[in-house]
Structure 1
Amino acid sequence: MYKVTLIPGDGIGPEVSEAMMKVIHAVGINIQWEKVEAGESVIEKYNTPIPDYVIDSIKKNKIAIKGPITTPVGKGFKSVNVTLRQSLDLYVNLRPIKSFKGIKSRYENIDLVIVRENTEDLYAGIEHKIGDYAAESIKIITKPACERIVDFAFKYAQDNNRKKVTGVHKANIMKLSDGLFLDTFRDISNKYNIKSDDLIVDAAAMNLVLYPENYDVMVMPNLYGDILSDLCSGLVGGLGIIPGANIGKDCAIFEAVHGSAPLIAGKNIANPTALIQSAVMMLRYLEEYEYANKIENALEKVFLKGEKLTVDLGGNSSTTEFTNEIIKYL
């Protein structure tokens, strides 16, 4: 039995979390959920969207899965996701981008992985005002952070029979910060018997739209990873199907990468695929490959049949109907 911290989240979070738990239960693996609340619902009581008990639960269980959490805009609260990643040193953000037959998209047979550094860059949140004239954000790139994220990318490629690792940067302009990332990437690439290349980030954005089949594992600093992973999501049907993982030395958090969609909350029409796929990633992290493959195969059958899809996927089924269809194929 595994004990997993569950953070349902805001908006549609509780609905997609419930769907995910139903699928996990149906596949037969024994998981005990430790549910903790975070986000907008706890701010009034704790004056923070992430009370200490959330961090404590994740540190204790070493593994968590979370629905989307809203960070209030303009109210002085730091991003919930950034806070979790920095507090727990979850230095890897891993987002597999895979197309499914049956989901409408302009592309077919896409299978690539974004490996994003998760703790520094502009997301370190170091910024200040210069009077009323300007504001300054400081971009932090350190060699240790570059080394461990690039090494993770190559090791991931090696362990998952991937063919190539591409380093993404803007070293032609930011010669010191991105130059450090690029130099580190090239140094570490020499330690692995895996094909590698590097690409300037704006060229990467264009080439991913024109020739996504040319890319396999892509590793990059924080900001570029945030942008390009969303771009790649658009290649295969949108954020509603894309899973994500935040991985550190001691623990990991798996999450749906889409937002909380408050306008459709409570209507039973949300697509739970992203969180279900995040659960698949979690099971593989736990080395429970048989259960993970069963869920992924069931998803593939549901998409291919195309009869019980949610509205965003071109159907008219409810969250419950879509979830039950997955369970039927388990």
Structure 2
Amino acid sequence: MRLCVIAGDGIGREVTEVAVEVLTALLPGLQIMEHEAGWDTFCRTGTALPEATLASARACKAVLFGAVSSPARKVEGYRSPIVALRRALDCYANLRPTRSLPLAAGRPDLDLLIVRENTEDLYIGEEQSDGETATAIKRITRHASMQVAKVAFELAARRARQRLCIIHKANILPLTDGLFRDAARAAGANYPQVAVDELLVDTAALRLVQAPQAFDVLLAPNLYGDILSDLAAGLNGGLGLAPSLSVGQGVAIAEPVHGSAPDIAGQGIANPVAALLSAAMLLRHHWQLPVKADALESAIRQLLSAGIATADLGGTASTRAFGRAVLAQLAR
């Protein structure tokens, strides 16, 4: 087994280090290939995703990605390396689970999975402007919609409730969102055991806040999935606890949802839980090692139940101290 590790910027370096230590403890033969990407890399080399990094990701077929900083303005030549990496590896489905953790700050009734299309929609980055009017292209294809829908229905079929809700805004965007919805329903015809519903994205946001326990699997285009998954993370204690896994044909990118948090970078207080849970998703979905994934998730839950946590959760543990506690719990 090989893993391409791209720590990125800011706290990405800190939380990734912890996740790598835990993964190598669980998988003693794991080969780690470290490479760079991100804003710092762009400023130094002129590219945010070097060819050597992309080549390693392709060869390893498994990536652990930390976090990257991005400018809030257009910078010539810069493009988000994680978006570029997802498209280059054709990791077309982004899995973002939200499951209640033993924390006072989170809801106790959460167990949902958002499956987000990962390669198109507004994220293709095709914009134009004459200085007075700016236009962004929203691209939806039947092929990409069918691909991600098959993943979502397959996962829904394995879950206890076997329910899936298609998220769209087809009342306003009947051609693009309508195509996504129709392709998803066509894919769902092969999964008669899965109950299918659909909601407009604004209604879905409202109901996620009011009654998140009503949802099982949500299937959404790229932008809606990004926004709704952050909303769901907010119900569960914040982005420091939110994992994700982007998957394609035999490839996977594990990535905590949070950003590079430059305001706390280097202080040793970043919460590594999202990175560790992302590593658990890599174990479960890519390497097909559910027992090891369960052990890692259980260790995290036991530590949080015992009040061992980083400062953002009211604890006193440093980033590395939490990682050592996870290792100790796994060794029991």
What TM-score do the two structures reach when normalised by structure 2? 0.95
State how far apart, in whole Å, the 1-side matches of 2:250 and 2:328 are. 36
2:297 corresponding residue in structure 1: 296
Contact 2:100 2:106 in 1 (8 A): no
1:189 corresponding residue in structure 2: 188
1:146 corresponding residue in structure 2: 145
2:94 corresponding residue in structure 1: 93
Structure 1: segments with no counterpart, 5+ residues: none
1:212 corresponding residue in structure 2: 212
Q: Which amino acid aligns with 2:261?
A: A
What TM-score do the two structures reach when normalised by structure 1? 0.95
Point out the more displaced range, 177-186 or 269-278. 177-186
1:318 corresponding residue in structure 2: 318
Runs of 4+ in 1 over 6 A off after TM superposition: none
1:42 corresponding residue in structure 2: 41
CA displacement, residues 61-96 of structure 1 (integer Å, 9 cap, x when unaligned): 111111001123322311222111122211111111
Aligned residues: 326
Verify: 1:5 aligned to 2:4, yes or no: yes
Contact 2:283 2:293 in 1 (8 A): yes
Q: Which amino acid aligns with 1:153?
A: A
Spell out the pairing of 1:20-99 with structure 2 (5 A cutoff): 20-74=19-73, 75-76=75-76, 77-99=78-100
State how far apart, in whole Å, the 1-side matches of 2:188 and 2:90 are. 24
Verify: 1:273 aligned to 2:268, yes or no: no
Contact 2:164 2:219 in 1 (8 A): yes
Secondary structure of 2:198 counterpart: strand
Point out the more displaced range, 168-177 or 27-36. 27-36
Spell out the pairing of 1:158-307 with structure 2 (5 A cutoff): 158-192=157-191, 193-284=193-284, 285-306=286-307
- Post-superposition offset of 1:42: 2.1
Secondary structure of 1:66 counterpart: strand
State how far apart, in whole Å, the 1-side matches of 2:25 and 2:188 are. 42
- Post-superposition offset of 1:162: 4.5
CA displacement, residues 161-215 of structure 1 (integer Å, 9 cap, x when unaligned): 4520100000111111111111222222222121110000000000000010000
Contact 1:27 1:294 in 2 (8 A): no
State how far apart, in whole Å, the 2-side matches of 1:145 and 1:91 are. 7
State how far apart, in whole Å, the 2-side matches of 1:106 and 1:318 are. 21
Q: Which amino acid aligns with 1:27?
A: L
- Post-superposition offset of 1:28: 4.9
Secondary structure of 2:36 counterpart: coil
Point out the more displaced range, 27-36 or 234-243. 27-36
Contact 1:245 1:278 in 2 (8 A): yes
Verify: 1:15 aligned to 2:14, yes or no: yes
State how far apart, in whole Å, the 2-side matches of 1:218 and 1:24 are. 29
State how far apart, in whole Å, the 2-side matches of 1:98 and 1:256 are. 15
